[in-house]
Structures are given as structure tokens and as C-alpha cells.
Chains A and B, each alone.
Chain A
């Protein structure tokens, strides 16, 4: 007995217990990181794999076609009779327009039989999400498609043709008609500008007439194009597919609604891999559909990259200049020390505060003034007096400039004094020393700061919500119309996309996998930027730690 109590006392005194407790802190942190990344990767990457379509017959003679997306024990189903509880599966049954909901729970006990016939088809549509069933070909006006001539290859050719047609329609709508609209609006604004001060000056009458003629010509052109568009639409709607649903009912699928058809049950793994890569590519490169819950995220990626790029352009010269001033030119007194602490602390000021500042200063004060002086013809519609990519970038530049200053200063202070003195001693001026000796040595530090700033900017959302991000931008901020880069346009952003689709969209459940994938991309961007910065910084430290000796 006594031996046992000394053992316990020893164990307690030795502190082994507490060492292990501190280790649990590390273990928990690592598990949280790994768990979170794993969760996002599984949920994000898994969705592009062509999942098998299950055809399940229930006890009620009902047939269900869908992808099995989850399984669980029915809550509160554990009774003394069945300690393991009842299980149920979650099917994605698609056909939201027909069934009302895209998902359905099926109790395992109700299932009679389940199979994966190869002719089950997945149809991706422009609206209402995917549809599952068996497909046949038909012609508009005819009755339900006859079995003849409805082979899988015919269906695929038809869909391919429909896609080509759609691309032509899109080209016509976006490029040609879009360009006409753009030019008409330009001419309208130019005419409005002529009459801004009340009446048309006689000198401008000729110009006004010319603009008017131009507008009439454009409008004529517009009519021609819309007619062509209508013809294409008619052509696209001529052929139809018929989809036999799990309920046995046959529904008509206009081909211009069909994006792609596939039979995942008949694919071997090579085909599946190909389909996976294609799906992934489409996600990254195409535009969103259906209130952002389907399609891709290209505009969001583009907006994020462009915004970060513009921010870098703004933040680099000013951040470096401020740091060089503080470290190399200013007198190192109490004031500079205080300024340094203040700048350092600005990095810890909440980002929403910067957003509020951006809204009031850039958007309302600066943008309002610019509109008043440069774009009076468009008022009361604001041009720069509303959120836009320029204001968002500048706001984020303010937010990240302390990061750049701090990192650059660190880089500058790591340059050994001997280098400076050597250069000055050889007769170089201060500026020459700076340019040829100090800045090259401090370059890794500056780059580290920039990269950290970019990573921070890419992940910030709160300030953007006030200064110009939107859920769906009608046009990219970069296009083929002069001046090519439209700094006043609103833009889409990966982070805001996550918030918007995850919390404001009508069909959160169906959009969840998309959000996970968007999240994964955002994390990849941010974490890889950070990783690079950390590596750079470590290299910098090692280099000067060695040379300072």
C-alpha cells in the first residue's frame, strides 16, 4: 500500500503528467489543422468523381434513381431491441423541378433490391440541377421518342451539336450584341454630356447629330443581330430528348437546356479519371450558373487575382519607400520608434475597420468627387462613387502596407553595418549605397513582405464586402473595350463567393460541394503564398546570421 502511494506521489512530483498535457496542446493543434484540411479536400475533391447511379426498388414498389451521398444511423432509433439502430441512406435524386427537392433519405429497411444498370444516364442541365433517368431521342412535336435511333452515340452527337450551337449563341449574345450595347451606351452618354449645362451649344449640334446617326445605325445593327439570335434559338430548340424518370414518367428535355450527358455506371476507371479531370477543369474555367450554385468559379478566381495584383502595384512602392525612410533616412529618435510601433500595430487593427474607411474615404469622398468632375454625364448613376475593384485594391493596400513596412524594415536592419560603411567608405553616395548594396541584400525581406501582403489580401473578405465585391458580376473588369482595364467595375472574389454561396444561396445543400472546392482553391493560394514567404524569410535569416558573425 505504502509503495503504491509513493509511486503516485513520485509520478505527480516528477511532472511527467504535465509534460504530456503540454504535448496534448500540440497534438490537438495538429489534429485540428489536419482534420480541417482533410475535411475540405475530401468534400471538395470528391465531388468531381463520376459517382455511380443506383437504381433501388423499395418495399412500396417505388423505384429510386440517384447517387448515394451519405449514410447514418437514424437519430433516436436506438432501442433495446436494436442496439445498433436503424440505418438510412441519403440519395441525391436530382430532378429538382420534378421532385421538389434534390435529396431524399431512404431507410435501409425499406430497400428490396438495388442495382447499377449501365443505361442510367446523368444529364447536366442549365437549370434545376442534374437529372437522372433513361434517355431517348425525339423530335419536337412527335410523341415520346421511339426506341429506334436512340442509341447512346446518337444522344451524344446530338448533345455535342447542341453545345456547338450554344457556343455560337453565346458568342453572338456576349461579343457581338454586347459590343453594340456598349457602343450605344457610350454614344448616349456622349450625347448627354453635350446637353449637361441645360441646352445644346450651337457648336455641338453637328456632333450631336453625328452621335444620333451613329446610334440609329447601331440600333439597326442590333435588330439584325437579334433576329439571327432568334433563329439560332429556334434551331437549338428543335430537337429534344426524352428522359424516363424513376417514377416511369417521361419528361421532355429541350436540347438547349442540356449541357452534358454521361453514363457513369458504364465507365471504366480510365474514363472516370478523364471525366474527373474534365469536371475539375470546367469548374476552374467556366462561369457560374443558377445563382452560383452550379458551374464554375472562373470570374471569382480572375477577380481575386486581378485585385491582388492591383493591390501589389499600389502597396509595393509606398511600403518600401516608407520602410526605407524609417530605417535609412529618419533620425532614430523616440518619434520614429513610436511611429514604428504604431505602424506595427496597424497590422493588428481589424480588417472591417479598413473596410469602413475605404467605403467612406475612397468610395464616397474620393469616388464622389471623381464622378462630379470627370463623369457628370452618367450621374446620378455613380461611376467611381460606388464600390469597385480599384477601391477594393486600395483599401487592401492600406490594410497590408504595415506588413510590407515591417518585413522590409526587418530586411534592411539585417543588412550588416559593415556593408554600408564599406560602400560609403569607397565613396558611394547614400543613394548609391542604398541602390547597389542595401536593397539587393534586403530583397528577400521585401519579397517576403510582399508575399505575406498578397496572402493576407487574397484571404480578406470583410473589407471587400463594403468596397466593391458582388455575388455575380455582369462583366470581368478586364475586356477588349477601351480602356481595357475597367477600374470602376465590381468584381467577384473567392472568399466572398464562399460566404455568398454558403450563406445566402437558395440551395445551400446542393452548393456545399462547390463551396468546399472553392475553399480548397483559396486555401491553396493563401497557404502556398505564405509557405513561400516563410521559406524566403528563413533563408534570409540564415544568410545574415552567418555573415554577421
Chain B
């Protein structure tokens, strides 16, 4: 019984709409994966930006020619301005100064130099016109009012003044750690002093003062590192002098480095966060970072080397501040420009024309999302900075990068470390290399086996047997790779470690056995052959090869004795210089090869068996042997199909995760050697993404790795598919 016609048409239309919408939605959503991945990656490469959010004029009291420091808190609510005139805090919401009780020690002293102590606590040291030093701690206490609002109260604590010289202190450097405090200072007369205050000397009344010989030019800048071991002195004639300091021994002038043209003064010195990279800024506006690098020819074994050169200012650099989170920093010049740099990636991210007056002081907000700068006219500018991924550029991802603490530029993947001061090293090249290495070893094993097997079943094998064997090999493709990975890591790796000589033996014995078997078959008289099964060479070979393998395993120690002096690992390392790791590329080659054999086999088999039978029959009829026919006719005709089979196998191996995760040891090294491990892009994602904070640099770089895998496999598969379709068309028409 049919429904009425109008209902039937309605159903038909409805079905059309539902199927179209549902079908399109499914297709769009699976193709949308690409765009979603792309969207997660793009923030890495968006240019940083800064927005001026506030500008206020500081009281005239704070406007002078002397030293200055600025700071802003992490919520960007309170700004701190510290000049030789006074210390003042500003509530940025209202723009009003916050009343503050000054310690008695500060009041009435004329400040001629100041330096920050580094680290998170706001430690400051100031030098006075009377040749005294005063250590200060600036902090804020956060209170919550009854209504649950957050209110911050700044406070200052000061130690007792420490008299050191008679003349005013003009330059000062200061670092403090749990062993004590160290200061370096220059007096107006040019005396260079190092002052050490032990940690247990709370009041600072027993400083140990050492005077250093004066360098050739006048001292224009000082920098001390947090280890309290290295002092760098910048001079007016363009030199940086390295002084090694120690608690027990007298200071030692290590070396003087010329960093700028003579008579070009070093205008500022500073450290990046972690106090390992020295930033040198000079009168001609040049900005560069320097680090101690191991050199055999240097007297101390180390030499200060220029690592990165950044964009130069057009005017002398007057202010510097490091970022507290990354290896970035900001510099300000006499013409009022601010440059935002990132050292490791050697790039200057932003240029901000802040004012027309010299920048007196500049600072990052603690989270790196804000900047504050004070200019010579007393203007305080506050910027909001969008700069979440300064360390990532195409060059840092794929090129050699000179990381802090390295002797030379290198490809490194090391996404995390024990300390916050060590930068993450996100070089994808070792991982891409590992991916390629694993794939190559797997193909090296899988391609010959798969193609030989495909040739055998499609051309030489008896049809009934072929119908049984083909599905067995193809079902291998469905084996979960976690199973193969488990066998590779826990069964094959320890076995191969002991049985390496046997494997070497097999490489020799098995081909010999095949040659022997074929020769025996050839010699076998025709009358006898008639009673033997035809087209079943493979079955005959199984027991033979099995015996060969068992024999080699049994003779393992014998082979080790004959060929490898009784100890294969020692032999490898002494003769070939190869260090054998238990989980290595050979294991992955074998097991991943095993995983892709069925993939390559099934496509190659299809291509080979699609070669028209009539052509084969023609060739045989003309007197060619079956091998000649296969070599010159079938293989040639099917070569595009075989090529596409190899490509698909390649694509499969590139993205394989579980096998490499379990069988490689996951060490990201660049080495083609078969006896050591590697780390692939895919395994790296599996290992690291659960620990990567959502939206962070590592997270997005891992997404980039996933996107790369996606694109590479997609392109390879598409090419292979195209080749296959053309081949299919050719034979369906011909």
C-alpha cells in the first residue's frame, strides 16, 4: 500500500535535504581538521604588537639627569619610579601618587647611582654622593578589603649605610644570592671597588672590600652575575673587561674584549634572565649578546664570544631591561625609541617610538605582557604587549640556533629542563630527522620483502595457494601497532642484543640458502620435478629458511667467536666506533618494516596482477622465460603502481607512533647510525603533549609538528593515489 503521492515527494525532498546536509557536514568537518590545526598554529607566527595604554607625567621632583629605575607589578596596577630625587609609587588606575613612608636612612641622602639585585625579590642598591652604599628592599603587600577587593600597599625597607669611599659613587652593580651580596662600584675618581657582604652579616657592617686595577678607559658600565663569580666592566674606549671573582681568592682580570670601535663607549651592560648571557650596548646604538664559550686556546679555557647581534639603534642606548620569563629584553635610546628584542632567535620584535626625549629607564611587567618606560621629560609610558611566542621563528624551529650555554649553534630539541632559567629548545629538525631515519630503515627492510612477495604471489604462485596466502599477509596490516611496539621493545630488543652475531650470520646464510635451493631445483631432473608441486617455492622455502634461522641462533656464540672476537659489542665499539643501544634503529627497521610490508604488498600486488594476461602470454609464447617476462614486461608496466605502493608505505611509516615510542629510546639526536635510537615527530607529540600547558609555546609547536605530519602524509598519499588512478585508467581503457 503506497502512501499518497504528495507525501512521497515530501519524503523524497526531506531525505535529499537531510542527506545533503548531513553528508556535507561530515565531509566538511573531517576536512576541517586541517583548518583547526592550522588555527592552533598561527598564533606562533603572528607578529608581536604593543599598545600604549597609559601615559602620565611624574612630579618635577623626579625629573633630573641622574640614574633612574622603573617597575610595574604583575597586574599592572602600581608603577614604581625611583630617581635620584625620590622613590614614588603611582596607582595606575587613578594616575595618582601613592603616599609612602620613606625610611630614615634614605631621607636626605643624595643618590648618585643605583642597581637592581636581580632575582624576584625587589632588591636595590644605591650609591650616594658621600661614597656610601645603601641596600633597599622594595615590596608590596596585598590586602583584601571587606568587600573582597584587592589592594596593594608598597613598602620600602633599608639597611644601614655602608661608607666606602670619600668621593661620590657614579656606577654600581649589585647581585645577591643565598651566599651573600656582591657589589661592584666606581667612584668619581675612577676607583673600581668590589664589595662582598656575607649572608650571615645581616647589618652589612663587615664588608670585604677589594680594589681592582683601573682599566684603560673610564668605566662606563658594570654588570655582575648571580653566581657572584663574574664581573664585566664596560669602558669608554669600547672594551669589556672580564674579571673573575671568588670568595677565597683575589679577583683576576681574565681578558679585555674590544666590542666597538675605539672611542665608542659601552653605554650599558646587563644580563638576560638567568644571568648567563651578557647584553652589551654601545654609544653607536649597537646591541649584541655575549656568552662565555669553551675554547681550548684561551688561557682560562673560556672566552667571551659574541652570540647574537640585534638591530642597532640610531642613537646611543641609554636603558636596558631583561624579561623575567624568556630570553628577551628591551632597550631604549637617547632619541626616545624602545626596541624589543629576543636574544635566542636573534630578532628585534618591535620598535616603539615612545617620545622625543632620552629613555631614562625601562622595565617589563613580571609576566612579560607589559612595558613601562620613563623618559627625560618625566613622562611615564605604559604599554600592553602581545608577545607570547617570541622564541619561535622558522629559523629557530628548523635552523641551527646558538642557545645559551652552548659552544656553537646547534639543532636541539629539549622542551623542558630542571630550572626555569634554562630556555626551552624547540628545534624540530632532530625530530624530523628521526622520523625520516625510522622511515628509511623500515622501508629498507619492507620494500624488498613486500615487492618480492607481491611478484611471487601475483606471477609465479599457484592460484589456489595465492588465494590462501594473500589474505594472511594482508591481515597483518590490521595488527595493532601497540602490539608490534611491545614485541619490539620487550622481546626483540633484548633478544637482538644477545643474538646480534646470529643476525649477522642470517644476513649471509639465508640468501645462500635461497640460491642453493634454486640451484638444486634447476639441477633436479624433469622426471622428478613432475612429481613435485609446482608454483609452491614459497612453501618449500619455509622449512629451509626456518632451519637456517634456528641454525644461526644456535651458532650465535660460535659466530661471535669467529667474526667478532668473542664480544660483539666490544668489537663494534673498537672496530667501527659504534655504541650499541638496546633500542635502536635496526629494531625499529625490522618491526616497523613488518608493519608496512602488508601495506606495500597489497597495493603492489594489485598493480602487478592488473597487467593484462594477454601481454604476459605473448611474451612467454615468444620464448621468454617467466622471469624475463616479469622483469622486462610486468615490472615495467606496473612500476607506477609499485611506486605508489612504496609512497603509501612511506606515508604510513612517517606517522607511526606506538612502535617508535616503544622501541627507539626516544633520544632526539642527529645520527644515521643503525645502532642508536632517535625520536620522531609523532612519538614526541605523544610524549610531550600531555605535559604541555594549553596554549603555551610547546603546545603550539607540537601542533605544528602534527600539522607537518598531516600535510606530508596527505600530499604523499594524494600523489600515490593520483598515480594509481592513472594506472587504473590506462588498463581499463587498454
A353 near B710 (CB under 8 angstroms)?
Answer: yes
A317 to chain B, nearest CB (A): 7
A370 to chain B, nearest CB (A): 16
Interface readout for A208-250 with B: 1 if CB under 8 Å, 0 if not? 0000000000000000000000000000000000000000000
Any A CB within 8 A of the CB of B566: yes
A328 to B16, CA, bound (A): 10
B31 near A342 (CB under 8 angstroms)?
Answer: yes
A321 to B17, CA, bound (A): 11
A456 near B478 (CB under 8 angstroms)?
Answer: yes
User: Contact partner of B706 among A346, A353, A531, CB < 8 A?
Assistant: A353
Contact A350 to B522, CB < 8 A, known contacts A364-B694, A498-B482: no
B541 near A15 (CB under 8 angstroms)?
Answer: no
A13 near B561 (CB under 8 angstroms)?
Answer: no
User: Contact partner of A19 among B518, B682, B709, CB < 8 A?
Assistant: B518
Contact A26 to B538, CB < 8 A, known contacts A18-B627, A321-B26, A349-B713: yes
Any B CB within 8 A of the CB of A325: yes
Interface pairs (25), CB distance under 8 Å: A14-B625, A16-B627, A19-B537, A20-B518, A20-B541, A23-B540, A25-B448, A25-B449, A28-B545, A29-B601, A85-B557, A321-B19, A324-B23, A329-B20, A339-B27, A345-B713, A350-B710, A352-B655, A353-B706, A355-B685, A355-B686, A401-B30, A402-B30, A465-B690, A530-B478
A523 near B480 (CB under 8 angstroms)?
Answer: yes
A459 near B480 (CB under 8 angstroms)?
Answer: yes
A407 to chain B, nearest CB (A): 14
Any B CB within 8 A of the CB of A414: no
A200 to chain B, nearest CB (A): 16
Contacts of B302 in A (CB 8 A): none
A307 to chain B, nearest CB (A): 14
Any A CB within 8 A of the CB of B726: no
A239 to B459, CA, bound (A): 73
Any A CB within 8 A of the CB of B183: no
Any B CB within 8 A of the CB of A475: no
Residue of B nearest to A15 (CB): B627
A322 near B479 (CB under 8 angstroms)?
Answer: no
Any B CB within 8 A of the CB of A449: no
Q: Which of B188-196, B217-225, B487-495 contacts A (4 or more CB under 8 A)?
A: B487-495
B4 to chain A, nearest CB (A): 12
B460 near A14 (CB under 8 angstroms)?
Answer: no
User: Contact partner of A526 among B450, B456, B479, B706, CB < 8 A?
Assistant: B479
A297 to chain B, nearest CB (A): 14
Contact A25 to B521, CB < 8 A, known contacts A502-B486, A530-B475: no
User: Contact partner of B455 among A22, A326, A431, CB < 8 A?
Assistant: A22
B588 to chain A, nearest CB (A): 15
Contact A322 to B23, CB < 8 A, known contacts A23-B456, A522-B480: yes
Given contacts A351-B655, A352-B657, A356-B685, 17 further A-B contacts (CB under 8 A): A18-B631, A19-B627, A21-B452, A25-B448, A26-B538, A31-B542, A33-B472, A321-B19, A325-B20, A329-B19, A345-B714, A360-B36, A434-B15, A495-B482, A499-B661, A519-B486, A522-B480
User: Contact partner of B686 among A28, A348, A352, CB < 8 A?
Assistant: A352
Contact A348 to B648, CB < 8 A, known contacts A24-B514, A30-B473: yes
A328 to B12, CA, bound (A): 13
A527 near B627 (CB under 8 angstroms)?
Answer: no
Contacts of B18 in A (CB 8 A): 321
A534 near B475 (CB under 8 angstroms)?
Answer: yes
Contacts of A398 in B (CB 8 A): 29-30, 33
Which residues 305-360 of A have a CB within 8 angstroms of B? Answer: 317-319, 321-326, 328-330, 339, 341-346, 348-357, 359-360
Interface residues on A, range: 35 or more
B174 to chain A, nearest CB (A): 40
Contact A502 to B662, CB < 8 A, known contacts A15-B625, A26-B469, A28-B545: yes
A318 near B22 (CB under 8 angstroms)?
Answer: yes
Contacts of A328 in B (CB 8 A): 19
Contacts of B517 in A (CB 8 A): 20
Contacts of B400 in A (CB 8 A): none
Which residues 651-676 of B have a CB within 8 angstroms of A? Answer: 651-652, 654-658, 661-662
Q: Which of A73-81, A185-193, A284-292 contacts B (4 or more CB under 8 A)?
A: A73-81
B26 near A319 (CB under 8 angstroms)?
Answer: yes
Interface readout for A360-383 with B: 1 if CB under 8 Å, 0 if not? 110010000000000000000000
A361 to chain B, nearest CB (A): 6
Residue of A nearest to B517 (CB): A20
Per CB-CB distance, the 3 closest pairs between chain A and chain B, nearest first, are A350-B655, A15-B627, A325-B23
Any A CB within 8 A of the CB of B24: yes
A25 near B655 (CB under 8 angstroms)?
Answer: no
Contacts of A19 in B (CB 8 A): 456, 460, 518, 537, 626-627
User: Contact partner of A462 among B546, B652, B686, B714, CB < 8 A?
Assistant: B686
A343 to B26, CA, bound (A): 10
Interface readout for B491-521 with A: 1 if CB under 8 Å, 0 if not? 1000000100000000000100011011101
Any A CB within 8 A of the CB of B414: no
Residue of B nearest to A533 (CB): B478
Contact A503 to B662, CB < 8 A, known contacts A16-B521, A352-B686: yes
Any B CB within 8 A of the CB of A119: no
Contacts of B713 in A (CB 8 A): 345, 348-350, 353
B589 to chain A, nearest CB (A): 13
Contacts of A18 in B (CB 8 A): 627, 631
Contact A352 to B472, CB < 8 A, known contacts A321-B19, A429-B8: no
Contacts of B173 in A (CB 8 A): none
Contacts of A431 in B (CB 8 A): 11-12, 15-16
Interface readout for A392-427 with B: 1 if CB under 8 Å, 0 if not? 000000100110010000000000000000000000
A322 near B709 (CB under 8 angstroms)?
Answer: no
Contact A462 to B657, CB < 8 A, known contacts A19-B627, A20-B514, A353-B709: yes
A527 to B483, CA, bound (A): 12
Interface centre among A24, A26, A350, A522 (most CB of B within 10 A): A26
B546 near A31 (CB under 8 angstroms)?
Answer: yes
A503 near B472 (CB under 8 angstroms)?
Answer: no
Residue of A nearest to B473 (CB): A29
Contact A27 to B538, CB < 8 A, known contacts A14-B522, A318-B26: yes
Any B CB within 8 A of the CB of A69: no
A57 to B476, CA, bound (A): 47
Any A CB within 8 A of the CB of B453: yes
Any B CB within 8 A of the CB of A11: yes
Interface readout for B587-619 with A: 1 if CB under 8 Å, 0 if not? 000000010011001000000000000000000
Contact A33 to B522, CB < 8 A, known contacts A352-B709, A502-B662, A515-B486: no
Interface readout for B517-539 with A: 1 if CB under 8 Å, 0 if not? 11101100000000000000111
B541 near A27 (CB under 8 angstroms)?
Answer: yes
Contact A344 to B721, CB < 8 A, known contacts A29-B601, A356-B702, A429-B12: yes
A342 to B486, CA, bound (A): 32
B490 near A502 (CB under 8 angstroms)?
Answer: yes
Residue of A nearest to B652 (CB): A348
Contacts of B521 in A (CB 8 A): 16, 20
B489 near A429 (CB under 8 angstroms)?
Answer: no
A531 to B449, CA, bound (A): 23
B89 to chain A, nearest CB (A): 31
Contacts of B461 in A (CB 8 A): 26
User: Contact partner of A26 among B456, B478, B485, B662, CB < 8 A?
Assistant: B456
A530 to B360, CA, bound (A): 73
Residue of B nearest to A32 (CB): B594
Residue of A nearest to B487 (CB): A36
A356 near B689 (CB under 8 angstroms)?
Answer: yes
Residue of B nearest to A402 (CB): B30
B703 near A351 (CB under 8 angstroms)?
Answer: no
A351 to B655, CA, bound (A): 7
A15 near B537 (CB under 8 angstroms)?
Answer: no
A393 to B36, CA, bound (A): 19
Contacts of A361 in B (CB 8 A): 36
Residue of A nearest to B722 (CB): A341
B597 near A341 (CB under 8 angstroms)?
Answer: no
